[in-house]
Amino acid sequence: MTALRNPLKSNLAEGRLQVGLWCSLGSAVVTEVLAGAGYDWLLVDGEHSPNDLLSIIDQHRAASAYETEVVVRMRSHDPDAVKQFMDSGIRSFLFPFVQTAEQAQALVRATRYPPHGIRGYSVSQRANRYGRVKGYHPLAHEECFVAVQIESGTAAQAAADIAAIEGVDAVFIGPSDLSADLGALGNPHDDGVQKTIRSVLELGRDGRTVTGVLAPLEEDARRYIDWGARFVAVGSDLGLLTRHGDALAARFRALDIARPASV
């Protein structure tokens, strides 16, 4: 199992800051480029982006030449989908909209073989290098990383109980959905939303709980880290492309050099 060690899981367990980036474009080339940038982890979004199992496998394969860990955000809590993704080699997950400790426990069970869970048994798949990794099945859960998203006021109130479930490796704030649920749609900087975010992130100060957040603005990311976050996404492929693409175009449009008059 040494070759399959999950550095994201072990580094977070040791209290180390792990900085990541969101991948939303569905491109293995883009994900491969970003995997070489030095992020600790890349989130491949299967919920709000045009990704499916095959495109995610391609991105996972493209990133595998680098040390960055690929985390997949699932589109649902479907245990059959979890099984298929795990058999395909995905071992790190972010599950959306987890409201209760019971839901979190069910998701953990979906990532474990019996007797600890309900994951179906397949002798040979990409996850165990097509049968070449001996002893994979009884130890697979040790390298599986499960993070759950806190995206509502109800979930924020239950965050400590959710984080306490054995097998939940991190609780992760989704600021956009949280702000919508708290009546501040599109405004995660609302005072009430920020207070709720802080209440969850500060759970990480106990030395046992790992908290995380998506923070595309650098000042937000630094503040959230100060509040206790250790599992932090600091941008996205889409954001990098639009922001820098727009800025480059604007700089050259600003020159506004008139063409010479024709003679």
User: Mind telling me the catalytic residues?
Assistant: 48
Residue 53: closest CA among 75, 35, 32, 69: 75
Cβ-based neighbour number of residue 66 at 10 Å: 16
Integer Cα distance of 118 and 113 in angstroms: 6
Cβ-based neighbour number of residue 252 at 10 Å: 9
Kindly state the tokens that stand for 174.
């989704």
Reported residue count of the chain is: 263
Q: How far are the Cα atoms of 127, 131, 147, 257 from residue 122, in angstroms, in the given order?
A: 10, 10, 24, 65
Residue 100: closest CA among 82, 83, 77: 77
Q: How many CA atoms lie within 13 A of 122 on its CB side?
A: 16
Integer Cα distance of 255 and 263 in angstroms: 23
Residue 8: closest CA among 235, 230, 220, 174: 230
